[in-house]
Structure 1
Amino acid sequence: MKKNNFFIALFFIIFFILKSVKADETKMIQGLEIFNEIAGCAGCHVLKAAGAEGNVGPSLDSLKPTEAEVQDMVFYGLGVMPAYGEDEMLTKEQVDIVSFYVANSAGK
């Protein structure tokens, strides 16, 4: 009986880990699309993982910003960078997704 409980618990642990990995993969794919196509971040920023070679904004590979830093910058903008969230060019969900993508891609 204890052996069966162990295998059941192990199954659920593996299931939730794989589910989490799949969710992160989906966010990365969506984040790349937002970065390159929807928001056009690649036109201004360097981000090797996205194939971006912009020269207007800072290199995200050099900055290696945290997810919270990206969220703040994308939502409110700074200088010539538009406020994508505040001006409703991106939804809150899109801001969160592209922030996750950048934070997990920068410098890699």
Structure 2
Amino acid sequence: MALATRRWLPRALAAGGLALLAGASVAADPAEIARGKLLFTTLQPACAVCHTLQAAGAEGQIGPVLDELKPDADRVLRALRNGIGVMPSYAEKISPQDMQALARFVAHATGAASP
């Protein structure tokens, strides 16, 4: 019986742990969110020039309205790394940590998920 319990227990713990992780959200770090907001308005070219995002006081007229699109942090990261449409890539302009902060700010500001 002990052997059967040892085989079952790791699977049950793994399944339960994965279920908890799937439902868990990453707590927003206030300093990271503040850094992301600053980057949103000060990058060159600034995100705020093109995108509307209420939390940043931005009323851009070119790109999508982020308050409506509600992109998750992964989607924002992909756009920052690769560019999309007329949006340039920021891969050579800002660090991966700054990209993460910016992506998490946008996701947090719009109520979307963060990694």
Q: Provide TM-score, normalisation by structure 1.
A: 0.74
Matched residue, 1:35: 40
Matched residue, 1:58: 64
Structure with greater proportional helix content? 1
Q: Provide TM-score, normalisation by structure 2.
A: 0.69
RMSD: 1.9
One-letter amino acid of the structure 1 residue matched with residue 39 of structure 2: I
C-alpha deviation, 1:38, in angstroms: 2.2
SS at match of 2:100: helix
Unaligned runs of 5+ in 1: 1-19
Matched residue, 1:105: 109
Number of residue pairs the alignment of both structures matches? 86
Distance in 2 between residues matched to 1:79 and 1:64, nearest whole Å? 18
Distance in 2 between residues matched to 1:94 and 1:79, nearest whole Å? 22
Identity percentage of aligned residues: 38
